[in-house]
Structure 1
């Protein structure tokens, strides 16, 4: 580890380039492996939890039901509406658990890499899945012209104001929404992991390489901050997974809504 961050006896802080991990084999990188691993973990978790369902659930079944209930009622139902939410529960639950597991990878020993800190993964979820889905359901519900009118012309505004509102709505709904959805989780995971690396590696350098009583004392402060930031990062990882699924459900709800 030290060889990555030390050159000629000086501390080189981690940067964006250090997130570009070299291939493990045949062009396959660690984030690619983690993406596949997360799908396996989620599938095994729900299959194991539902293999022997009981009327009075055990702890494991209760935990799985709580995760499902949270995705179903606290996210999908609240954002999409009680009439339309059921077909979208599998998607919203999948998005929440998928982003959550890949975020939590960042604080798991040995793995220690949040997959969503690579912009390509959240961008793929946003642009290839969420973005086309909520526009598709909007077109199906309102028709092509009806959906564009529904999405771009907020009711009640003076006609002259539409000259300003329509370009803003086009830019927001067809360009910025999928980008900001991805950037939120990416930026949080990237910045959080970078801070953890900085405190951890700075403490390691001060303790082992720098020497001196003062530097050794400061190294323990750095390690303490790293531990504190790990707990904070765990909270942020859960929140960002929730926000991603929440906004995805919100976009679907807006597309289906009778009025803007």
Structure 2
């Protein structure tokens, strides 16, 4: 009977719960969070870089570690030691911006990852990363040379190009920016939805369910806590993956052979 009541009484969260109403005018919570993330990132790195010391304090150490990670582990390794330096600000900005907007999802009172709205990662991918790596590739190789490198890989028999070239075009000029955005969006959307399911289910079990089912609320809350820790890891990984793929696309665009 309790199971029947659970099935009939509990309404699980869905995609509609991500459509937040405007706070004022046409401004929504995700819009404010995006602006706030820029302020947070700028303020943190301005403050930590003001009085830098040879032996860094905790905040300086964190700031230097983030910069070193994006510079050496992401940009240098995937763009190449010859060209990476001028792209460090872009990779650094992408990583920190996505990380902060992801981590909102586990911060009390905020609890909403802005990258779970597809428009934000799409804007970063299509309006920032996509034009940058095509532009730098065309600037280095010329438009014709760049398109040749992208669409006609070396060492392929001539007739195979009839099949391979359309696939290369679709992959590099259509799907790359879309899949780059979908990766972070899907992870943030799914993770936040799972946490919502366990949290709201636990609340319903504790407040509304029959006495026999109330102890199950503790299990649901435990899963919600466990998923929150897991989601924190995924949020960090997704920021890293986005920045890494952006660097990889730039590196491939600059390379002589693809």
Query: Normalising TM by the smaller chain, what interval?
Result: over 0.9
Gaps of 5+ in 1: 1-8
Map of 2:3 onto structure 1: none
Query: How many residue pairs align between the two structures?
Result: 251
Map of 1:26 onto structure 2: 25
- Structure 2 SS opposite 1:210: coil
**Pairing 1:184–2:183 present:** yes
Map of 1:220 onto structure 2: 218
- How far apart in 1 are the matches of 2:243 and 2:152? 26
Map of 1:4 onto structure 2: none
Map of 1:250 onto structure 2: 248
Map of 2:229 onto structure 1: 231
Map of 2:198 onto structure 1: 199
Map of 1:156 onto structure 2: 155
Map of 2:4 onto structure 1: none
Residue 224 (structure 1) shift: 0.4
Map of 1:13 onto structure 2: 12
- How far apart in 1 are the matches of 2:206 and 2:55? 52
Map of 1:3 onto structure 2: none
- How far apart in 2 are the matches of 1:128 and 1:246? 17
- Structure 2 SS opposite 1:216: coil
1:61-210 aligned within 5 A:
61-210=60-209
Residue 211 (structure 1) shift: 3.0
- How far apart in 1 are the matches of 2:136 and 2:255? 10
TM-score (norm 2): 0.96
Gaps of 5+ in 2: 1-7
Residue 247 (structure 1) shift: 0.3
TM-score (norm 1): 0.95
- How far apart in 2 are the matches of 1:60 and 1:120? 32
Cα deviations across residues 132-165 of structure 1 (Å, max 9, x unaligned)? 1100000000001000001111111111111111
- Structure 1 SS opposite 2:215: helix
Q: List, as ranges, runs of 4+ consecutive aligned residues in structure 1 with deviation greater than 3 Å.
A: none
